[in-house]
C-alpha cells in the first residue's frame, strides 16, 4: 500500500514571526547603547528581545551589552560596517537585514529587534527597508543648541530623545528648552527627556516602545523615512534647500555643492 501523500511530503519550514524592528541612531556617545541596555533590562522578561549593533571596526557595543548582562549573550549580534555607519543602515542594509532575520529565526518568536547605528553626525537615519520605527538620541552634553542645528533625525525620527538630563546643570544647558525646541521643530512628533537615573523618564521611554509595538501588532504602524539629508547646497549659485519628500528618489545634476 502506498503511503498517504501527506506523509511523504516534508512539512514546510516554519516561517519565523517578523519582529518589530526599532532603530536607534544619533551622534557618538549620546547614550544609544545605554538606552538599548535600559530597554532590555526593563522589558526583557515580558518580551522576547534581540539586538544588532553597528560599529565601524569593532564589536565594542555588543560586548558592552553582553557584559551588562541585560539579555542572553546570543541575542546580541554585532555588524562591523567597515565604512561610514550611515552606509550600513541606509544605503546598503543587507548585512543588518541578515543579522535581524537570523535573530528572528534563531529565537522565534522575537517581539522586538533593536538596531543600534554606529555613532555618526546629525545626518544619519535608518532606511525604512531596515526598521519599522526609529529613535534619534541627542544628549545635553552635546550643547543646548544642537536641536536648533536640525537634521532629518531630529526633525522626523519617530521619537527624539534628549538624553542625560541629569548632566544639564553641570554643563550649563537648559534641558527643558532643548525639549521645547525639539517639539517645535518636530511639529507634534514626540520628544522624551531622558536620564537613566530618572524613573519617570525611563517609564515614558518604555511607554513609547510599548505603544509602538502595539501599533506594529495592530498593523497600523507605517514605517516612514525621516529623509536622507540635512539642508544643503548644490553649488555657489544655489540657495540652501532640502529634499523633504519621504525618501522620494531625486537626481542631483550638479554635485560640487555636496
Ligand atoms: N550621566 C549620564 N550618563 C549617561 C546616561 N546614559 C548614558 N550615559 C553615559 O554616556 C556614555 C556614552 O554612552 P553609550 O551608551 O556608550 O553611548 P553611545 O551613543 O552608544 O556611544 P557610541 O556607540 O560610541 O556612539 C557612557 O559613559 C554612559 O555611561 C545618562 O542617562 N546619564
Ligand atoms: Mg554605542
pLDDT in tens, 206-226: 999 999 999 999 999 999 999
How many domains does the chain divide into? Answer: 1
In a domain, 205, yes or no: yes
Q: Which pLDDT does position 6 carry in this prediction?
A: 47
Q: Which pLDDT does position 195 carry in this prediction?
A: 98
Q: Mean of the per-residue pLDDT values for the chain? A: 86
Q: Return the closest-CA partner of residue 183 out of 147, 146, 226, 151.
A: 147
In a domain, 237, yes or no: no
Which mutation among 26, 27, 32, 34 tests ligand 1's pocket best, with the greatest number of atoms within 8 A of CB?
A: 34
Check whether 140 has a pLDDT greater than 60: yes
Q: Which pLDDT does position 10 carry in this prediction?
A: 58
Q: Return the closest-CA partner of residue 134 out of 17, 20, 19, 16.
A: 20
Q: Which pLDDT does position 244 carry in this prediction?
A: 38
CB 106 within 8 A of CB 99: no
Per the structure, the complete domain to which residue 143 belongs is given by 20-215
In a domain, 11, yes or no: no
Mean pLDDT along residues 63-87 = 92
Reported as half-sphere exposure (CB side, CA atoms, 13 A), residue 17 has a value of: 13
Mean pLDDT along residues 144-167 = 95
Higher-confidence residue of 251 and 56: namely 56
Mean pLDDT along residues 10-39 = 91
In a domain, 144, yes or no: yes
Q: Which pLDDT does position 81 carry in this prediction?
A: 80
pTM comes to: 0.86
Check whether 37 has a pLDDT greater than 70: yes
In a domain, 9, yes or no: no
- Which 8-state DSSP code applies to residue 142? G
In a domain, 252, yes or no: no
In a domain, 233, yes or no: no
Q: Which pLDDT does position 80 carry in this prediction?
A: 87
Check whether 237 has a pLDDT greater than 70: no
CATH (domain of 187): 3.40.50.300
User: Is 183 exposed, middle or buried (CB count within 10 Å of its CB: 0-12, 13-18, 19+)?
Assistant: middle
Ligand 1 binding pocket, CB closer than 6 Å: 28-34, 61, 119, 163-164, 166-167, 195-196
Atom 26 of ligand 1: nearest residue by CA position: 31
In a domain, 123, yes or no: yes
Check whether 233 has a pLDDT greater than 80: no
Atom 5 of ligand 1: nearest residue by CA position: 164
Amino acid at each position: 500500500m502506498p503511503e498517504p501523500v501527506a506523509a511523504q511530503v516534508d512539512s514546510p519550514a516554519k516561517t519565523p514571526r517578523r519582529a518589530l524592528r526599532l532603530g536607534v541612531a544619533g551622534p557618538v556617545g549620546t547614550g544609544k547603547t545605554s538606552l538599548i541596555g535600559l530597554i532590555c533590562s526593563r522589558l526583557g522578561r515580558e518580551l522576547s528581545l534581540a539586538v544588532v549593533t553597528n560599529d565601524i571596526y569593532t564589536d565594542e557595543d555588543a560586548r558592552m551589552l553582553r557584559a551588562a548582562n541585560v539579555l542572553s549573550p546570543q541575542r546580541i549580534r554585532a555588524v562591523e560596517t567597515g565604512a561610514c555607519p550611515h552606509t550600513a543602515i541606509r544605503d546598503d542594509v543587507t548585512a543588518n537585514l541578515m543579522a535581524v532575520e537570523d535573530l528572528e529565526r534563531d529565537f522565534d518568536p522575537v517581539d522586538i529587534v533593536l538596531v543600534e547605528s554606529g555613532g555618526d553626525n546629525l545626518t544619519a537615519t535608518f532606511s525604512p527597508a531596515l526598521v519599522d520605527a526609529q529613535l534619534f538620541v541627542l544628549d545635553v552634553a552635546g550643547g543646548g543648541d544642537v536641536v536648533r542645528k536640525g537634521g532629518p533625525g531630529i526633525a522626523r525620527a519617530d521619537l527624539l530623545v534628549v538624553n542625560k538630563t541629569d548632566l544639564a546643570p553641570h554643563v550649563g544647558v537648559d534641558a527643558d528648552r532643548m525639549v521645547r525646541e525639539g517639539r517645535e521643530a518636530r511639529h507634534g512628533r514626540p520628544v522624551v527627556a531622558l536620564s537613566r537615573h530618572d524613573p519617570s523618564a525611563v517609564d515614558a521611554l518604555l511607554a513609547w516602545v510599548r505603544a509602538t509595538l502595539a501599533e506594529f501588532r495592530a498593523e497600523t504602524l507605517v514605517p516612514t523615512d525621516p529623509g536622507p539629508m540635512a539642508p544643503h547646497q548644490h553649488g555657489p549659485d544655489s540657495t540652501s534647500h532640502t529634499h523633504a519628500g519621504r525618501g522620494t528618489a531625486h537626481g542631483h545634476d550638479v554635485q560640487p555643492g555636496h
